[in-house]
Copies of this chain bind each other. A is one copy, B any other.
Amino acid sequence: MTLSAIEVNHLKQAPAMQGVLPVIHHRWSPRAYADRPVAAADLARVFEAARWAASSSNEQPWRYVVGLRGSATYDKIFQSLVEFNQNWAASAPVLILGTARAHTSRSGRPNGYALYDLGQATAYLALQAAALGLAVHQMGGYNQQAVRTALGIPEEYLLGSVMTLGYQGEPETLKDEHMRATEEQPRERKPLREIAFSAWDVPADLG
């Protein structure tokens, strides 16, 4: 028996820690999307959020390509996805590719934080989407060279993730049984003692 989207969202909710931003607790990465477009005003909000992320020397190396379903850009991004991702991402009304300028605008030196900062901006984007009732699912499973060629992206830009954006759909709309099962599993993360340390091998005492 497949759970409903609402039931699934309860399962995906992170265990609450008082004072942690609610949007961090409830954001997750669904594979099932509703057949409903995203308003331009909401697209503006998710990119506005990305815009205000921090970056090394305020370089803001990020640059996003946005494809709305029915556009050539959407098709080009979609065609670059591996088959596994094509099987579910086809239900999303928006596909986005994140890119980052490889060199700094001031000195022209390699920017060692280009992808790191693209990650930061995309994290803002995904949290903002969650705040609007939208969902994002990032994918590394796509052909970088194919999408670079299809979209005419210069070598100067490094590629990050392709992501779906849209309103969450019912898990039962997923054709693949394994995907439906994943959609219904609680989110899992390492415990705090495996990510915060007071010395390299000593977990931090966080009370």
Contact = CB atoms under 8 A, between A and B. Distances in A.
Question: Which of under 10, 10 to 19, 20 to 34, or 35 or more describes the interface residues of A?
Answer: 35 or more
Count of chain copies? 2
Contacts of A190: 51, 60
A88 interface: no
A153 B126 CA distance: 31
Contact of A117 (B52, B63, B119): B119
Q: Which of A14, A60, A161, A204 has the most CB of B within 10 A?
A: A204
Given A60-B195, A116-B161, A153-B200, 16 more contacts: A19-B41, A19-B42, A19-B132, A21-B128, A21-B131, A44-B206, A44-B207, A63-B194, A65-B197, A66-B197, A116-B116, A116-B118, A120-B122, A120-B123, A121-B123, A124-B127
Given A20-B45, A51-B195, A116 B113 contact: no
A91 to B, nearest CB: 19
A9 interface: no
A152 B200 contact: yes
Contacts of A118: 116, 119
Interface in A31-73: 39-45, 47-54, 56-58, 60, 62-68, 71-73
A66 B195 CA distance: 10
Interface of A: 14, 17, 19-21, 23-25, 27, 29, 39-45, 47-54, 56-58, 60, 62-68, 71-73, 112-113, 115-124, 126-128, 131-132, 138, 140, 151-153, 160-161, 187-190, 192, 194-201, 204-207
